[in-house]
Amino acid sequence: IAVAERDAYKQRSDATTDIVQKALEQLEASKAQSLKQANRIEFLTVQLDTQKATSKKYRTDLEGTLGRQKELMELALQMDDLRKKDTIKRVQAEKQSMQLANLCRYLHKRLETVEVKVEKGTPTISSIVTTIAAETDALMDTRPGNMGVEGERER
């Protein structure tokens, strides 16, 4: 009986040792799996940090691009304003050129009239020059209420 009990005890002991051994092996496997997961988590953390840095860089680049785009838009508006001012000045210059041409034509006709009168002997040269100077001043006066070249032509 003692031998049978000892054999039974030894079998239970061997079975327990096997169970403990399997549990230790599973624990080792779990430990290895946990280590792999920890390494994976660390790798993913590094990747996330890298992506955050890249994202921050892209955001900074985008903000810089938006700032430059805003500056370019402001420059475009300034250029448009300058073009408008240039067009206005060009139109004014053309208008003044037309006024000057009209004045020259008027003075030329007036001079022909004066030459005819001089041939007849009516006015003196100084009175003619004075008359032309006064008429020229009146024609060049473009203030509101004065006739200027256009009004003189209509008259």
Q: Which DSSP string do the residues of 61-92 spell out, in sequence order? A: HHHHHHHHHHHHHHHHHHHHHHHHHHHHHHHH
In angstroms, what CA-CA distances link 135 with 90, 104, 129, 152?
Answer: 27, 12, 10, 9
| Percentage of the chain lying above the pLDDT 70 cut | 75
Contacts of 117 (CB under 8 A, 6+ apart): 123, 128
Please give the residue that has the higher pLDDT: either 146 or 42. Answer: 42
Joined tokens for residue 31: 């430990």
pLDDT at 155 over 60: no
Give the dihedral sign, CA 55/61/64/69.
negative
For the segment 58-90, what is each residue's pLDDT rounded down to a tens digit?
Answer: 999 999 999 999 999 999 999 999 999 999 999
pLDDT at 107 over 60: yes
Question: 147 by DSSP, 3-state: which?
Answer: coil
* pLDDT of amino acid 40: 96
Sequence ranges of the domains in the chain: 2-154
* pLDDT of amino acid 109: 80
Amino acid at 65: T
pLDDT at 144 over 80: no
- Only one residue has tokens 């903000």, namely 63
Burial grade of 139 (CB within 10 A; 0-12, 13-18, 19 or more): buried
pLDDT at 149 over 60: no
Q: pTM of the entire structure?
A: 0.41
Question: 124 by DSSP, 3-state: which?
Answer: coil
